[in-house]
Amino acid sequence: MAKIVFLGTSGSTPTKSRNLPSVALEYEGSIYLFDCGEGTQRQIFKYSLNISKVEAIFISHIHGDHIIGIAGLVRTLALNRRQQPLYIFVPKGYESAASQLLSFDKAIIGFEIHIKPISSGTIYKNEDFEVRALRLVHSVPAFGFVFKEKDRVRFIKEKAAAAGLKGSMYSELLKNGHITVNGKKVALKDVTYVEPGLKVAYITDTRPVQSIAIAARGADLLIHEATFAASEAGLAKERKHSTSEEAALIAKKAKVKKLVLMHISARYRSTAKILKEAKAIFDNTYIAKDGMAITLERGS
């Protein structure tokens, strides 16, 4: 199970109801942040997340509205006497953008901070999941991220019982791929199925490109920027952002289960138009609000 909490959903500047971009993904007791706009630490407290559980921060690009919040967050962690390491991922070549945000407080930081360069491909993984990065098209080097839980092999109870599997036979079959039971060979594929792991794609500050649809294919959740309404398509192209319709087309091509739009320009007091435009193309679309939470479970 994974819980996604939208900490900030505005684009470029905050509004009364929207903080700057940041999304928290809570999984197995740890929190992974995607972008860290100014005020993110306060949003973490406001929406009842445990700041000490933040394990890694994935920064899409070095524009201030996506990265400045690191300074305050790290300072709070230090004052809370954090001990475990923190990993911060930034586009390759821009590591100093993160380190400079931390330099003024080095005296009180008593834990390791590992600033890691991002390039395309797998950038973080453990025994349960991996995070892959894909290059986006923005005014500075930018990356999107795909969280992918590992697939699991599940036994089909009826077929396993009919094959005579018992006790340690299950682990032996998983290890070897086949086993002989009562003189009959049983293959793993004959009594199991693969349960896909959860998949969440986070895509912000980009023009729509085919590689996004490929990377996000079949995702349980696609979080995609919709900085502008369709009527501002020219401005979106000029500033290398996406419109509501363009985000919805990506979701449709990728055949995702759910689309949530964020990074909404502060020019829009109402998001009704943006939502209507997107839903006309991809019906299962929602507009993110600060504090909005989505729980995802395998097979749901």
> Cα–Cα distances in Å, from 117 out to 69, 88, 89, 114?
18, 9, 6, 10
Out of 65, 205, 220, 290, the active site residue is: 65
Cα–Cα distance between 84 and 55 in angstroms, integer?
8
CA angle 30, 17, 262 (to 5 degrees): 60
Please count the other Cβ atoms lying within 10 Å of the Cβ belonging to residue 300.
Answer: 9
Instruction: Note if 65 is an active site residue.
Output: yes
Q: Which of 22, 72, 14, 1 is nearest to 291 (CA)?
A: 22
Cα–Cα distance between 123 and 117 in angstroms, integer?
9
Instruction: Give the side-chain half-sphere CA count within 13 A for 22.
Output: 31
Cα–Cα distance between 263 and 259 in angstroms, integer?
13
> Cα–Cα distances in Å, from 295 out to 1, 2, 191, 208, 211?
7, 6, 30, 27, 26
The DSSP line for 127-153 is SSEEEEEEE--SSS--EEEEEEEPPEE
Return the active site residues: 65
